[in-house]
Structure 1
Amino acid sequence: MSEEDALRAAMQDLLIFTPTREMIADRAAFWAVRLFGATAGFVVDADGKVIATSGIDRDRATTLLSSPGRSGGIVRVPLHLAEGQGWLCVVAGDFTPVFGTDEVAQLRAYANSVSAGLQRVTVTERVAAVEENKTQFLNLASHELRGPVTVIRGYVSMLQSGLLGQLNERGRQAAGVMAAKVSEMNEVIEEMIEAARLEEGGLTLRTADADLREIARSAADAVAPLVESRHRLVLDLPERRVRVKVDADRTKTIIANLLSNAIKYSPGGGVITCQVRSRAGVARVTVSDEGLGIPRNGMPTLFTRFGRVITPETEHLKGTGLGLFLGRQLARMQGGDITVASIEGKGSTFTLQLPAASPQDGPGNGAAQAARDRMRAGAPEGMDRRQAD
């Protein structure tokens, strides 16, 4: 490899691949010495601390930095960092070239690339720290809230059942509203707990043979209290069983969330359809509505953690942005996926796909594996996968 190719590879490594600030600084000092034929080189952070050296120890570099005239020629160029200005320094000895204007200009250009690499790592570390803090917050908040909400839920149930005395009509209405709100809060807490488990790798599935029709029915029953007079929820189920091997409770949660979203994002009412079908080894639950729809530029946000598509029509609607994120992750853990097709102003169609089970389903079943492979291959984001089969 020529010197030029080696330098190009080193620059690419600095800008893209080097994982830590310490490694970038070490490699930057090494290549500064090699590139400019210097005797030594070192990198100084914004606090004035020598963080990397090549051809010189740190104590000597610190001395040269504070008294550059004592030994040999030292050239330093700035490193523009988020926390302030650092320095990239090279040292000329008795038998090394004198650094002229051209060499200093090249060193400045090299220092700019080093700065970019250091900034990349800083941003990456900050993003990782934010994600870790989010997970810690989810854990703490969800577990701290779970106990009080459980107590409140119990007392509200006792009020509704008359165990704490008979309520008048207005009291019964108030208890019903409280029960609905406590239920909403409990769902949010469960989403937070599931998200934290998922991030920590502690989420496990209990899979068993199940009829997808029954899971869809159970999910529809769960969201029935949310259906208002202006909505019409239609269950379109086949006569024959749709056998799947899934975690039934978590699959019910996925479908219930899709139905809940369909109701929430159809403030003007309309028909909400939950259709279950099985074809070519793939079982599908399709939830469609006639609501607000999703703008095209919002599609990439849909399945991200805490991702919500905010528009003037939806900014007043409540939500954590965890439901679809969890739903897709849970579907993929079961060999499936969730896809979406939507037209803004006309409604959306979300499709949950899962591998269909059969009496002969097992490790050697080629049809079942082919179905899983088809779903992994998938279709472009935002397209209803039925078009891809």
Structure 2
Amino acid sequence: MPDALPDEGTLYSEQDYPDLMRTVREGPRQFRLSDSSVNPRIHSIITAMKAQSILVVPLIYEEDLLGMLILCESRNNRQFQPDEISLVRSMALQATVALQQATLFANVRELEQVKSEMIRMASHDLRNPLHSVKGYLELLLMDLASRLDAQQTEFVTRMKNGLNRMQSLMEDILNLEKIESQQDIKRQPANMWMVVSEVSESGRSQADLKHQQYIVNLPPQSVLVSGSEIQLTQAFTNLVGNAIKYTPDEGRVEVRSWVENGRFRFEVEDSGFGIPQDRQNGLFQRFYRAQAPGTEDIPGTGLGLSLVKAVIERHGGEVYFSSTPGVGSVFGCWLPLTDTQ
């Protein structure tokens, strides 16, 4: 009777069947209760499985025996035919590939967790001494600033700039790792009018310092996106900050946002240096900086666009850009609106 077979979902450990594991390593084997030559231990296995005969096929990957695929026959004591053996071998091959992929995925996940933890620990251990160095340097400057000549002042300025770059790098690494290590976003309705307003206002002072023409077009006040308002603010701030940073004094930066075909769109256009065509492919990779004439002395970590891409894609959206050297760039993204809109 078919219902005499083991219950669906019954798990068997390979450690419980060492005789079977040794027997089938070289290839498929079949065993029947009526066969008196069957090893008594294998005979008891067939009985425990409520079967009359079994076909056992090894799951082998690169000479490693991962497990076994067992086909049970409970209706009669019969010999399995070649076409049945061929079918089960095909199933075993697919099962082997699936098992190996699952194992590799688990190993990658574990390595990612270890990597993230090491980065967090290293950044934390570096942050405290870095703050100490910056603090003591500021104290020294309070006492010595009036006695430094031009060259010494330049040296100190370089030290301060180097410390600031290190601090920015650590903060960017930690932010990116935090975003990428999160399995799920704590989703809630995020008001895009509030996000864009906050981001654009925070960038206005930077643009004013460079005497740039700064234009902002806000979305309707009722536009909602499901996700993390903090992460989206961080991503948009990176786009606006990059546009201001890579646009010369008295240039033009426009922040615009609107709703189109069930999507919220956010773009930043600038009249900056632009990015050469041959340096655009790696823009969203970690630590990649597409240097162009005029940008050599502009500080940056090469992590901002990686963070933007990670945030937008985790919210179900997509990033895009276009750039022409000597003309400027447009960086933007779209995000799906909430289901209620």
| TM-score after normalising by structure 1 | 0.54
- Partner of residue 286, structure 1: 268
| 1:77 lines up with 2:57 in the alignment | yes
The residue that corresponds to 2:162 in the other structure is: 181
CA contact (8 A) 2:214 2:252 kept: yes
The answer for unaligned runs of 5 or more in structure 1 is: 4-25, 31-41, 44-49, 52-57, 225-231, 355-370, 378-389
Is the partner of 2:332 in helix, strand or coil? Answer: strand
* Equivalent residue in structure 2 for 1:237, among 203, 207, 215: 215
Displacement of 1:129: 1.5
CA deviation string 1:137-166 (max 9, x = no partner): 232122111101111222333344444773
Distance 1:143 1:319, change over 3 A: same
Q: Offset at 1:125? A: 0.9
Q: Work out which of the residue numbers 91, 108, 111 in structure 2 matches 1:130.
A: 111
Match of 2:253 among 261, 274, 286: 274
Query: Matched residues in 1 for 2:109 and 2:254: separation?
Result: 40
Structure 2 partner of 1:218: 205
Distance change >3 Å, CA 118–CA 271, structure 1 → 2: farther
Residues in 2 aligned to 1:67 and 1:212: alpha-carbon distance in whole angstroms: 67
CA contact (8 A) 1:270 1:290 kept: no
* Pair 280,291 (structure 1): closer, same or farther in 2 beyond 3 Å: closer
Conserved in 2, the CA contact under 8 Å of 1:220 and 1:256? no
Shift of 1:264: 8.3
Give unmatched runs, 5+ long, in structure 2.
3-7, 25-37, 44-52
Q: 1:184 to 1:336 in 2, by over 3 A?
A: farther
The counterpart of 1:118, out of the listed 75, 96, 99, is 99
- Deviation at 1:323? 1.9
Write the deviation string for residues 94-119 of structure 1: whole angstroms up to 9, x where unpaired: 94321343333222211101111102
Q: Which residue of 1 aligns with 2:19?
A: 63
Check the 8 A contact 2:288/2:303 in 1, yes or no: no
Q: How does 1:279-358 map to 2 (within 5 A)?
A: 286-288=268-270, 289-293=272-276, 298=281, 302=284, 307=286, 322-327=303-308, 339-343=319-323, 348-351=329-332
Matches of 1:332 and 1:87 in 2, distance apart?
A: 38
CA separation of 1:161/1:252 partners in 2, compared to 1, >3 Å: closer, same or farther?
Answer: farther
Q: Which amino acid aligns with 2:204?
A: R
User: Match for residue 192 of structure 1?
Assistant: 173
Alpha carbons 1:331, 1:338 under 8 Å: kept = yes
Q: 1:96 to 1:115 in 2, by over 3 A?
A: same
Give the TM-score taking structure 2 as reference length. Answer: 0.60
SS at match of 2:147: coil
Letter in structure 1 aligned against 2:253: C
Structure 2 SS opposite 1:237? strand
Whose relative contact order is higher, 1 or 2, with alpha carbons under 8 Å and at least 6 apart? 2
- Flag the 1:203–1:97 CA change in 2: closer, same or farther, 3 A: closer
Which whole-Å CA distance do the structure 1 matches of 2:313 and 2:269 have between them?
18
> Percent of aligned pairs with the same residue?
21
CA distance in 1, matches of 2:321, 2:273: 12
CA distance in 2, matches of 1:162, 1:107: 82
Match of 1:348, SS? strand
